[in-house]
A and B are shown apart, each in its own frame.
Chain A
Amino acid sequence: MAPETGMPESGGATAGGERAEGRYLHAVDAASLSVIGKPWRKIDARSRVTGQTKYADDLALPRMLACKLLRSSVAHARIKSIDTSAAEALGGVHAVLVGSELPVAFGILPVSQDEHTLCIDKVRFIGDPVAAVAAVDEDTAWEACRLIRVEYEPLDVVTSVFDAARDPHGMDPADRIHDYGREGNLHRCEHLEFGDLDAAFAESDLVREDLCFFEGNTHLPMEEHSTVAFTDPDGKLCVMSSTQTPHYLHRALAKVLAAFVPPHKIRVIACPNGGGFGGKSDPFNHEIAVARLSMKTGRPVKITLTREEVFQTHRGRHPVLMKSRIGVSKDGRIKALEFETHLDGGAYGSYGTASTFYTGALQCVTYKVDNYHFKGARWFTNKAPCGPKRGHGTPQPRFALETQLDKVAVELGIDPATLRSRHLAEAGSLTANWMRIGSMGLGECIERVCAGSGFRERWGRLPLGRGVGLACSSYLSGAGLPIYWNAMPHSGVQLKLDRSGLVTVFCGSTDIGQGSNSILAYIVAEVFGLDPQDLRVVTSDTDLTPVDLGSYSSRVTVMTGNAALQAAERARDLLVPHVAAQLDIPKGRVTFGGGRVFDCEDPERGMTFAEAVGTAEAKIGTIGTTGSYRPPKSPARYKGGGVGPSPSYSYTAAVVEVDVDPETGIYTVPRIWVAHDIGRAINPALVVGQVEGSVYMGLGEAMMEEMSYRGNRFGVHKIPSMLEYKSPTSMEMPEVVTYLVEDPDPNGPFGAKEAGQGPLLPIMPAVANAIYDAVGVRVDEVPVTPEKVFDAMQRKAQGKEARYGPRELPRVEWPEPRRVRTPWQGGTGVEVEREDELARSSQG
């Protein structure tokens, strides 16, 4: 069934989908751009380097109270009673809040509204909040928490997917962590089939099956989460918080506090985040608790988490146990790929349903995969809830696939770079699972890192202990669908043009350090020919700024950028006729540049930008425009196809060099070469910064970072501190050679794609592949610690399998698969059953 000649151009669904109006500037020659593509300072750089940026915990208001949460000391228990009387009687305590006062459940995804502000009937992990106190200061609030008596009735503690999978039918329903989900502690269980796997495996020249484990790790942002809530002078609730998603927080507050305050009287302001990496994307219990406490006390209330509480709040990388079965032809083409993932979700749903699908969504966007099956299960366990961390659900399967391809390359005797570049997915094509690829620069990325590192000359030829490893990846430039179903734009921008020449950009997006505020300024400044530092950018305030869904899924540059471009082009179109009339020239000759608006044929004739705004304002009144963006409709119309589609995909290739001590397994990473297909760099200096930061974070995951719990010791987190949770310091950071590959994408503003997440993905598998090149052993587990390298080397010396890694998966009764024909089988992007139904009804 699988074609040998590449994929068809289109698989029956419309390509591209809706396009925002306005010129699409991806094709514009870089030389004609004056702002885009230049390494400007961030517009808020001065504020950040002078210490003037106000993060949430820097806010202090008159009469402000301090809040602390009493958190569960047991991993799984029913709450029999809570006695807060002693706490309430303590001097300096203004209010104590318990769960029964806020019975409405919330959660980031509509399908898993399984959290309460404070636990009502039971606790599900050590750190689950049970009560909240507002007091004159933190010390008093802590003391009051200590005075609250909670009586627990212990329940079975589940700390691994194997525990969770034990006897789902026979288990006492009372012992389930949640009373929803598939059965027992199985939260989600998904099964998708694209194409004919059996036939493809039969035709394959080489079939391998590999098991892998990727341990969970956490974001570890430098700023601990903090929230201040108060009633403003007009009697409205205002919540200022370190959140990446003020719009979703607004929705959660409106839902939980519906009995007390209507949505339009809730204002959420996202403060600049001191790092997020996905860890501040959920609406959090502490945010809602201080909101309610501020209403109860009539005073501002602030909570700032301790570092230990940040570990408990988590929402980080899911531990994922995986099996990948691959069938390839002699020249390395992937004819069949069967993937099974088991996610250890922790205690709540969070983004987990999306995470589950993400472990199966992006396998086919890097290399051609003719037939693809995916099974994904997410399990509840009594640990801090997992969620989205940089790369959300895709680094784990990427590790499995890229290490497996390395093994395939060795078996086929093809070098790993050539194996990959021979079978790249094509620009503009559809994948087996109906993802629409836009521009695709992975081939050039591979060539750049190979040329820089000498990979092809060095791989397999270095002395014992030294090695190079290669891996590739891809990531979304924004999720194609919103968190909650709606047909409204994902991003909105408003512009105000003032006769002083000031342009103010309003947008709901949140700058978490990646520079999203600056991106807005660069794009608008490009259209008007202004200096981006002269604009005013107002963001992340639900009262003042139009909705943007938030800083997640690497969506902000593409989505807010397109919205800003549309708004700016509309404003320019308002000015042009009036300037043309004033100068008595045809409209087509009006040009913006250098802070002026002028006749392109006689640049001396013109006016300042401020005068141009004034000229138009005199004719048509106050100048303001809006712009908005909605991603193209996805051709993936099957259930589960909502996770993975994106306006475009970025691509990355990396080569990692390692020095391994063949005696001990201790290794260092002296150098990394990384090439990233950015589409077009709006600001190359910021892109280089995102790439280097991603490489760093990926290296931390590869070498040392892990959330580890005492599995058989009550589910206690072993290392909730920055000293013991190892992350790379300045001493470990290797030299990084970064290449930016620019292959402008038609869906991106000026052709831009994402930069913040994709470059993290290849680092973990590239490290593992380099270890193999150095000492001939496979560590099929992240982090790749020296102990594991040592263990595998010992096994090799004993003549056993030269490998460290998992050997089994939990057993699951998988549901019948949802079968979807691939584009080259003549599919339409919906399930076969629905296709057949539609065919019957059209015949009838």
Chain B
Amino acid sequence: MTSSKVLGTFVVNGEPHEVAYAPHKTLLEVLREDLGLTGTKHGCELGECGACTVLLDGTPVVSCLVLAQEVEGRAIRTIEGLADGPDLHPLQDLFAELGASQCGYCSAGFMLAASELLERNPDPTRDEIRAAVAGNICRCTGYIKIFEAIELAAARLRGEQGQPTREMLYGS
């Protein structure tokens, strides 16, 4: 069953990577198995859970449904490329500060989907946030800390303080 491989170049987080890979592989499989970028997760491999969300030319896609061959040369962003060098992206900081990442398995998908929202809409409403992450399932948090983290990250990206309220950290 070992199939012959093809050679292709994937531009991941701004860097080109030449990869020899089995041509039937999905982008998810190439990222995890051939490039060792295991920050992208899978929860179903059927496009149902959103855990494998990455950005393709700036747009969120479920990488388990993207055939790798189709995206050679296109700009792919994964969780490994969200931080700016040693400095975490505000979304990462807020997910950590609020506990919006519990088991953390869905977090990469949420943060990438949210980062695209904040690119096109710097001041989203709660409902716009709900809609932007509607394709991502989280079983730990009940989404609330995720909504709050995205709202505060948006504020920080706008240059505002974006500090958590007392209720977020201590309850009402």
Residues on A lying within 8 angstroms of B by beta carbon are 39, 41-42, 45-55, 57-58, 60, 90-92, 135-137, 139-140, 143, 219-224, 272-277, 306-307, 452, 512-515, 684-689, 691-697, 721-723, 727, 729-731, 733, 736-740
Contacts and interface: CB of A to CB of B under 8 A. Distances in A.
Given A50-B88, A685-B98, A722-B46, A692 B145 contact: yes
Contact of A46 (B37, B82, B96, B111): B96
A220 B139 contact: yes
B134 A140 contact: no
Contacts of B42: 57, 224
B1 A91 contact: yes
Given A41-B96, A685-B169, A723-B46, 11 more contacts: A45-B96, A46-B88, A50-B83, A58-B32, A143-B1, A222-B106, A684-B171, A685-B168, A692-B145, A695-B142, A722-B137
Contact of B143 (A273, A723, A733): A733
A41 to B, nearest CB: 5
B114 to A, nearest CB: 11
Contacts of A137: 1-2
Contacts of B111: 49
Interface hub of A272, A693, A739 (most chain B Cβ within 10 A): A693
B172 A738 contact: yes
B131 A222 contact: no
Interface of B: 1-2, 32-33, 36-46, 48-49, 51, 78-80, 82-83, 88, 92-93, 95-99, 101-108, 111, 129-131, 133-134, 136-147, 164, 168-172
A692 B83 CA distance: 28
13 contacts: A49-B88, A49-B107, A50-B83, A223-B41, A224-B42, A273-B103, A307-B46, A684-B171, A687-B171, A689-B145, A722-B48, A736-B144, A737-B172
Contacts of B49: 222, 722
Nearest to A223: B105
A92 B172 contact: no
B45 A307 contact: yes
Contacts of A693: 102, 139-142
A50 B98 CA distance: 15
B170 A688 contact: yes
A47 B101 CA distance: 10
B102 A222 contact: no
B46 A729 contact: no
Contacts of B43: 222-224, 274, 307, 722
A272 B96 contact: no
B140 A48 contact: no
B104 A49 contact: yes
A423 B121 CA distance: 53
Contacts of B147: 730
A727 B88 contact: no
A275 B103 contact: yes
Nearest to A452: B172
A409 to B, nearest CB: 26
Given A45-B96, A685-B169, A730-B130, A222 B38 contact: no
B51 A222 contact: yes
A514 B130 CA distance: 24
A274 B134 contact: no
B22 to A, nearest CB: 9
A219 B43 CA distance: 13
Contacts of A688: 99, 145, 168-171
Contact of B172 (A274, A275, A739): A739
Given A139-B1, A722-B46, A48 B142 contact: no
Chain A CB within 10 A, most for which of B1, B111, B136, B172: B1
B19 to A, nearest CB: 15
